[in-house]
Amino acid sequence: MRHLLLSALLALTLFGCDRAAQKSAGSNPPEAASPAKAPAQAAHMVITPQFAEAGPFSEGLAAVRTGAQYGYIDAKGKTVIEPQFDFAGAFAEGLAAVGNGGKVGYIDKSGKFALTLQFEVADLFPFSQGLAPVRIGEFLTGKWGYIDKQGKIVIKPQFDAAGLFSDGLAVVRMNDKWGYVDSRGNFAIKPQFASAGSFSDGLASVRTADGDKAGYIDKEGKIVIQPQFDSAFPFSDGLADVQLGGKYGFIDRQGKIVIKPQFDFADKFSGGLAAFRMGDEQTGKYGFIDREGKVAVEPQFDFADLFSASDGLAAVRVGSAQSGKYGYIGR
């Protein structure tokens, strides 16, 4: 799920039009056949549930919490960076955003600070395409800008919110409207949307006004999949998860429904599989489907995150959010 240890990270990373909107030409999306039933595989637990919190693997490491602090493990479950951080994000481009007391910055894979910021920072995100969004100043009043890997501010703090760069553009908010900037901070698509997601596969989900349906635009800002979804999210592996009538399904880049809305929650595809939930957030169970909509892993977990495309592992939780433990399964 869009889950990260770094507080608020994916709330901004890729906004999508709510996570609980979008699609193609025509006011009513075409129906798709129900997914075929196939024997589901038993989940293969690679790292036994033992962590109070666990993030997705990225670049061979995953942030986990034991007790009050975060550290990092490798794909065999071995601790490679001892728990010592108050928060910890995923590695990206060789660095991970962390905080330890008053020290906030980015560590390398040895666990050493490779970059500490020489200004007051309230929030910071991972690097993407060489830049990272940071909120400078107070938590509530600070503005977002972008730094490079030397810690230099390259896009001045001016945004009320900012996401990661993807497909050469980053989604930002100014004066309650969302738009997109290039790597120099120039608007490629002026702020005009009530909500907006990050670009992927050349498309981004948007909502033109509060209460409107969500659709998708191209990098020229032109609507190419007409607004018709209750919620819509970034494309991944050629498919995007959308919500219609309270259920989640998937569309292709032409806006055609390829896995009909039937899940109470569905996350994006990664490594050929997508997590889904049947039932409510408190008592429902999570499993995984393949790109044809067939159940690959039966719903059995109390939470399930993305499969790492690079490491082939997904964080899962057994037990409640308060007392359950996280481990990792393989494909």
Per-residue pLDDT tens digits for 245-302: 999 999 999 999 999 999 999 999 998 999 999 999 999 999 999 999 999 999 999 9
Per-residue pLDDT tens digits for 93-136: 999 999 998 899 999 999 999 999 988 888 999 999 999 999 99
What percent of the chain has pLDDT above 90? 82
Which pLDDT belongs to residue 221?
98
Which pLDDT belongs to residue 122?
87
> b/e string for 245-268 if b means 16 or more Cβ within 10 A?
eeebbbbbbebbbbbbbebbbbbb
The strand pair at 132-136 and 121-124 is best described as antiparallel
Per-residue pLDDT tens digits for 174-218: 999 999 999 999 999 999 999 999 999 999 999 999 999 999 999
Domain range list for the chain: 9-330
CATH of domain 9-330: 2.140.10.30
- The backbone region for 18, taken as left when phi is positive above 0, alpha when psi lies in -120 to 50, beta otherwise, is left
Which pLDDT belongs to residue 310?
83
Which pLDDT belongs to residue 18?
59
Please state the φ and ψ torsions of residue 190, each to the nearest 5 degrees: -65, 155
| pTM recorded for the entire structure | 0.87
